[in-house]
Amino acid sequence: MSETIEEKCLSKGVKLTDQRRIIAKVMSDSTDHPDVDDLYQRVSKIDPKISIATVYRTVKLFEESGILTKHEFKGGKARYEELNEGHHDHLIDVKTGEIIEFVDEEIEKLQKKVADKYGYKLVDHKLELYGVKVKSKDE
Amino acid sequence: MSETIEEKCLSKGVKLTDQRRIIAKVMSDSTDHPDVDDLYQRVSKIDPKISIATVYRTVKLFEESGILTKHEFKGGKARYEELNEGHHDHLIDVKTGEIIEFVDEEIEKLQKKVADKYGYKLVDHKLELYGVKVKSKDE
DNA sequence: GTAGATGCAAAGTATTTGCGACAAG
DNA sequence: CTTGTCGCAAATACTTTGCATCTAC
């Protein structure tokens, strides 16, 4: 398994405080893509004294340190997710808000090719698919 | 050539006012992807009495009517662009902010395939590439 | 004439920041 | 010790909205 967030902090020289440890743990335990407010709610259950300003400061710090990644899906607040080696993109159910993670190597390759064609080196990309569930015959 | 924004308003039953006509014209004349504030600045040069609230209301209305499309590129305000039949995605120069529009049919097809694989019908998507210009040997 | 549009200022969200108290290395 | 962090509240940035007035159709 890969490094924990705490290990990443150490290796990146990010000072560890109780608050950061809690935020790290909550993010690690989350399988969804919480926004800052969700995160604040969850963190508050563990330590009610943590302020939302600290949550904002911490996710920003973690993002800059390459520990978390920020998503700005349509029509909403910024949402965060732990960054692991396996890159993936998102398929969002527009009705339910459910998010499915997927990987498609072929699309990745084509993206590099497009950037290349225009004389660019790809440093980042964002691919979001928005869809509605197709009813199968038996429902 | 395709319909003008004014024609689109008529065919969609959107009432035309002086303000909307001006905003439509400014958007049509823009080759970049202005945010609401840019738009407000440009519109103000034509009619300084137009309020920013009207600009916000109008871009939202135009977006709902399928006349404009909204982008939320990294780290910033919402930006708008006229919606024409030819769909395209964006390659953003992370150093200069320059935006290149591109079309890649193959990527489009693969996106549909991915959605399909998970049992979804694609209703929308967002693909943004962020890159840095590659220096060619002679500069 | 009437429903809808506008301008203004006030209210909402989401996020950031100044500051004095406090804690990690 | 010293530098950076925290909590708090105030500030900021972007966007929306209530209301009285005005305008397109």
Per-residue model confidence as pLDDT tens digits over A63-113: 999 899 999 988 778 999 998 877 899 999 988 888 999 999 999 999 999
Distance from the B69 Cα atom to the nearest Cα atom in chain A, whole angstroms: 12
Interface probe for A, chosen from B89, B118, B137, B139 (most Cβ of A below 10 Å), is: B118
Element (H, E) at B102: strand B99-102
- Domain residue extents for chain A: 5-82, 89-131
**Which residues numbered 37-66 in chain B sit less than 7 A from strand C, measured from CB?**
47, 49-51, 53-54, 57-58, 61
- A104 interfaces chain B, CB cutoff of 8 Å: yes
CATH of domain A89-131: 3.30.1490.190
Q: What single-letter DSSP state applies at residue B76?
A: S
DSSP 3-state of B89: strand
Cβ distance B62 to B26 under 8 Å? no
Q: How confident is the model at residue A61 (pLDDT cuts 50, 70, 90)?
A: very high
Q: What is the pLDDT of residues A1-26, one digit of tens each?
A: 578 888 888 888 889 999 999 999 99
Q: Is the CB of B15 under 7 A from strand D?
A: yes
The answer to pTM > 0.95 is no
SS3 annotation, A19-51: HHHHHHHHHHHCCCCCEHHHHHHHHHHHCCCCC
- Contact: A91, B127; criterion CB under 8 Å: no
Q: Is the CB of A74 under 7 A from strand D?
A: no
CATH 3.40.190.10 is right for the domain spanning A5-82 = no
Please state, in angstroms and as integers, the Cα–Cα distance from residue B133 to each residue in A122, B75, B96, B99, B127, following that order: 9, 20, 10, 12, 19
- Contact: A120, B93; criterion CB under 8 Å: yes
The C-alpha atoms of residue A81 and residue A62 are separated, in whole angstroms, by 10
The C-alpha atoms of residue A61 and residue A57 are separated, in whole angstroms, by 6
Q: Which nucleotide across the nucleic acid strands is nearest to B37, CA versus C1'? A: D14
